[in-house]
Amino acid sequence: MYKSYFKTVYVVGNGLDLSCGFKTSYFDFMESLTIQQKNKNNLMRHLSKTYSNQGWIDLEIELKNYSNRLKKGLNPNWKEYQESFEDLKMSLYQYLSKINFSSQQNIKNFELMEGFVKEYELLYILNFNYSNTIEEYLELFSRKLKNQIKINHIHGTLKGNDIIIGVQDDVDLPKGANFLYKSRHVNPQQIANIAHVLKEADTIVFFGYSLGETDHSYFDFLFETQSANEATSKNFIFYHYGDDARNELDYNLRMLTKKNLNHFYANNNVEFKDCKN
């Protein structure tokens, strides 16, 4: 079994890149697509139409919706769908690769991260971003501490040209759309290691990460365990930006704790910090 020496875990989401002014949301990606790209295949046309009608898009939910719609048709072409999905992934990779992630930093983020690195001797960073923004920050003040910090890019990186998009295992898909499951592309041992690291940690910090439904499977066990009567207390710190982000966190925490949010608060030391203030 993987042995974790990390008592502090730092979970980083797309909010970090967005706070630096980088256009890394699916909204930005859809806005960037040319007419030719939007009409490249049936999947892209579906995503483009959904985005135009709603003004926003949750890519993972739409992949599920499109898969189920395709299943209802006559003679669904799953091979063509998989090729379209690979085209989509390549388009996203090409779009993000054009962003200069070292071009600017957010001084408030810098101060927060510097404080954590100085306070905690061993730090495990679970990074859901494809970018190297977190490495750029660490290079500024912690070169001597590299051996004490482990960064896990769970969904791959732009640098490694191995970005992962898709859906979690708890999403029901037609058999022909199995290629969409992230678990087919993530190292199973890596996922098991995450569960162990979270279990052993004393302090878990979430920054720029809303605990969205599409990633719940990574944290289900943690929050169910910490909501149980026999839970060993942990420290949780949730950084968010404004009231809307706080409301989204509350909603997702309620789901993750199976509506035992009061037990979660009672069992643990929980802080919410608004970066907007």
Q: Each residue of 23-77: pLDDT tens digit?
A: 999 889 998 888 778 888 999 999 999 998 988 888 888 999 999 999 988 789 9
C-alpha to C-alpha distance for 19 and 143, rounded to whole angstroms:
23
Q: Specify which residues 239 forms β-bridges with.
A: 207, 273
C-alpha to C-alpha distance for 239 and 220, rounded to whole angstroms:
20
For the chain, counts of helices (H) and of strands (E): 12, 6
The closest of 108, 107, 105 to 132, measured between CA atoms, is 105
Give 22-26's long-range contacts (Cβ < 8 A, gap of 24+): 22/99, 22/101, 22/131, 22/133, 23/99, 24/96, 24/99, 24/129, 24/131, 26/57, 26/58, 26/59
Question: Does 187 have pLDDT greater than 80?
Answer: no
Using only C-alpha atoms, the chain has a radius of gyration, in whole angstroms, of 19
Average pLDDT of the segment spanning 85-92: 94
**Residue 203 banded pLDDT, cuts 50, 70, 90:** very high
Name residue 139's amino acid: E
**What DSSP assignment string belongs to 50-111?**
HHHHHS---HHHHHHHHHHHHHHSSS--HHHHHHHHHHHHHHHHHHHHTS-TTS---HHHHH
Can you give the residue ranges of every domain in the chain? 8-22+105-274, 26-97
% the chain with pLDDT above 90 = 51
- Mean pLDDT value across the chain: 86
Name residue 61's amino acid: I
One of 2.60.40, 3.40.50, 1.10.287, 1.10.3470 is the CATH number of 8-22+105-274, namely 3.40.50
Per residue in 153-179, pLDDT (tens digit) is: 999 999 988 999 999 888 899 999 999
Per residue in 95-141, pLDDT (tens digit) is: 999 998 875 666 566 666 666 666 666 789 999 999 988 887 777 66
Residue-level pLDDT at 231: 92
Residue-level pLDDT at 116: 61
